[in-house]
């Protein structure tokens, strides 16, 4: 194994290997972990403990290896995202990550976005589903079972922007107004929104592959875009998405038009349906026709909004998991941020971080472990032993700390192992 300057490789456990386009998972993998800023210091230790316990109770083990980004990296290396951290994820293939702070309106660029871009983790995959026992504002929260595939490397998240009044800003406005016939006011900030054919197609492939692998559960892949307004970026996203579906998955996929024009709305057993929706409509369809949607494939910004809105329907940000997936490498992290006002108070809900670990368990094929984890979490909620965010939404129940909630999940594993 390579040696690192500041990272200590655990003496026990083995590396996950990427070979012949396949991950080889040892029984006791070493998994790098970024604790995160703010409430990362609360949720990450809780998640690590629960995931290790679930692994041990199902005949495996996990050996966590601390790596650094954000404040912890600045303390250790004097920089926020050291190369060694990226190298460790490349080498050990997967990592668990807590949230990291990003300043608004200035300061450094998002470390989360940088990690996704530098490691080419081009798919942000966020499953959104209902767990029994969790309160929801919806009448039928169990109808929510979607997996959002959000493009992770481009769109307005590319970070190509120029501040009002800067020389580059003036240059670009002059060029556009003089050469391209636009009439952009001089006091504008400027951002660029690139959406490429390559990145769109690889994202849509991931979404369709996932739908096909889980055909017993999912029937629809929906391309979500604002192509009516942004024709050559979001509109192109839709067109390239259909192109991939038709050209590369023609035997397994039909479009919604074909479904109604040629099949009277009946989906053939061996096929999935690809359709598309405008992003604004999608946000209301999430609420009004929840059960009609399965897999959503979206450009970067739409996916960010839609996944938080969907999470709100099944209990909120505290329980929403996420993952960033490339080819044979992945980083698993909750959807929520660092919630600074709660940092270090042992108060917030660790479920989002723990369920991100559940996606990791599914990714490495530990089915027994992920099932045990889900059952134990559901039992904890059914017993109404909950953190503050859920406590304020239910009648009765017992409010527990972040770490206590994690310990209860581990205790509850006993009922099922
Ligand atoms: P946030 O940290 O997600 O917090 C927003 C609100 O969501 C909190 O005030 C809290 O609501 C609720 N919440 C978040 N985490 C929770 C948890 N574990 N348990 C229960 N409730 C939870 O969003 P933000 O305040 O907009 O962002 C703070 C910082 O995080 C920013 O620097 C942002 O850039 C960063 N961020 C990082 C990531 C990432 O690392 N991937 C993602 C998003 C944001 P109540 O106040 O109602 O209790």
Distance 405 CA to ligand 1 centre (A): 19
Q: Are 280 and 226 in contact (CB under 8 A)?
A: yes
Distance 295 CA to ligand 1 centre (A): 25
Domain boundaries of the chain, sorted by first residue: 1-122+328-417, 136-153+195-314, 155-193
Question: What is the pairing mode between strands 30-34 and 94-97?
Answer: parallel
Would you place residue 394 in the very low, low, confident or very high pLDDT band (cuts 50, 70, 90)? Answer: confident
Round to the nearest angstrom and report the end-to-end CA distance of the chain: 35
Per-residue pLDDT tens over the stretch 73-95: 999 999 999 999 999 999 999 99
Mean pLDDT of 286-314: 95
Mean pLDDT of 353-357: 98
> Does 305 appear as a known binding residue?
no
Give the number of the atom of ligand 1 that is nearest the alpha carbon of residue 42: 18
Per-residue pLDDT, 370: 97
Helix (H) or strand (E) holding 114: helix 111-118
pLDDT averaged over the chain?
A: 94
Mean pLDDT of 278-301: 97
Helix (H) or strand (E) holding 376: helix 367-382
Per-residue pLDDT, 248: 97
Distance 336 CA to ligand 1 centre (A): 5
Mean pLDDT of 367-386: 96
Per-residue pLDDT, 106: 61
E strands along 20-162, which residues? Answer: 22-24, 30-34, 63-67, 94-97, 123-129, 145-151, 161-162
Alpha helices by DSSP H, 136-278: 167-179, 197-213, 236-248, 256-262
> Does 341 appear as a known binding residue?
yes
Tokens in use for 397?
């129940």
Mean pLDDT of 279-289: 97
Per-residue pLDDT, 416: 87
Give the number of the atom of ligand 1 that is nearest the alpha carbon of residue 388: 20
Per-residue pLDDT, 133: 84
Per-residue pLDDT, 105: 62
Question: Which CATH class name applies to 1-122+328-417?
Answer: alpha beta
Cβ 312 under 6 angstroms from ligand 1: no
Per-residue pLDDT tens over the stretch 28-51: 999 999 999 999 999 999 999 999
Per-residue pLDDT tens over the stretch 303-350: 999 999 999 999 888 899 999 999 999 999 998 999 999 999 999 999
- Residue length of the chain: 417
Give the number of the atom of ligand 1 that is nearest the alpha carbon of residue 350: 18
pLDDT at 224 over 90: yes
Per-residue pLDDT, 76: 93
Give the span between the Cα atoms of 40 and 36, in whole angstroms: 4
C-alpha Rg value of the chain to the nearest Å: 22
pLDDT at 10 over 70: yes
Which sign does the torsion angle of CA 414, 415, 416, 417 carry?
A: positive
Per-residue pLDDT, 315: 87
Take atom 26 of ligand 1 and give the residue whose Cα is closest.
337
pLDDT at 108 over 70: no
Superfamily per CATH, domain 136-153+195-314: Isopropylmalate Dehydrogenase (3.40.718.10)
CA distances from 10 to 6, 146, 361 (A): 13, 37, 20
Global confidence as pTM: 0.92
Lowest mean pLDDT among 3-7, 109-113, 340-344: 109-113
Phi first, then psi: give them for residue 365, nearest 5 degrees. 80, 20
Per-residue pLDDT, 197: 98
136-153+195-314 has the same fold as 1-122+328-417: yes
Per-residue pLDDT, 132: 86
Per-residue pLDDT tens over the stretch 396-407: 899 999 999 999
């Amino acid at each position: 194994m390579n040696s690192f300057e500041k990272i200590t490789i655990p003496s026990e456990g083995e590396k996950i290997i990427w070979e012949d386009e396949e991950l080889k998972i040892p029984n006791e993998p070493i998994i790098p972990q970024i604790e995160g800023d703010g409430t990362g210091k609360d949720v990450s230790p809780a998640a690590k403990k629960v995931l290790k316990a679930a692994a041990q109770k199902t005949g495996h083990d996990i050996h966590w290896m601390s790596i650094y980004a954000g404040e912890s990296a600045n303390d250790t290396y004097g920089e926020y995202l050291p190369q060694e951290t990226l190298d460790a994820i490349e080498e050990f293939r997967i990592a668990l990550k807590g949230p990291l702070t990003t300043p608004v309106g200035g300061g450094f660029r998002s470390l989360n976005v940088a990690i996704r871009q530098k490691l080419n983790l081009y798919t942000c995959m966020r499953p959104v589903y209902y767990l029994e026992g969790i309160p929801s504002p919806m009448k039928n929260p169990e109808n929510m079972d979607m997996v959002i595939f959000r493009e992770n490397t481009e769109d307005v998240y590319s970070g190509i922007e120029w501040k009002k009044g800067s020389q580059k800003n003036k240059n670009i406005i002059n060029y556009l107004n003089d050469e391209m016939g636009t009439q952009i006011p001089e006091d504008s900030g400027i951002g660029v929104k690139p959406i490429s054919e390559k990145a769109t197609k690889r994202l849509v492939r991931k979404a369709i592959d996932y739908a096909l692998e889980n055909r017993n559960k999912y029937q629809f892949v929906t391309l979500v875009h604002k192509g009516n307004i942004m024709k050559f970026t979001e509109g192109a996203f839709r067109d390239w998405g259909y192109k991939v579906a038709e050209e590369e998955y023609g035997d397994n996929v039909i479009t919604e038009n074909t479904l109604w024009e040629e099949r009277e709305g009946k989906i053939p057993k061996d096929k999935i349906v690809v359709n598309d929706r405008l992003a604004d409509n999608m946000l209301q369809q999430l609420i009004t026709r929840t059960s009609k949607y399965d897999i959503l494939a979206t450009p970067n910004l739409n996916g960010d909004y839609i996944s938080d809105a969907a999470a709100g329907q099944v209990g909120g940000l505290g329980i929403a998991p996420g993952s960033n997936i490339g080819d044979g490498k992945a980083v698993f992290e909750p959807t929520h941020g660092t919630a600074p006002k709660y940092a270090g108070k042992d108060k917030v809900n660790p479920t989002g971080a723990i369920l991100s670990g559940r996606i990791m368990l599914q990714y490495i094929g530990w089915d027994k472990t992920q099932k045990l984890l889900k059952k134990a979490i559901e039992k904890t909620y059914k017993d109404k032993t909950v953190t503050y965010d859920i406590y304020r939404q239910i009648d009765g129940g017992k409010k527990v700390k972040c770490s206590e909630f994690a310990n209860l999940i581990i205790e509850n594993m006993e009922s099922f192992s």
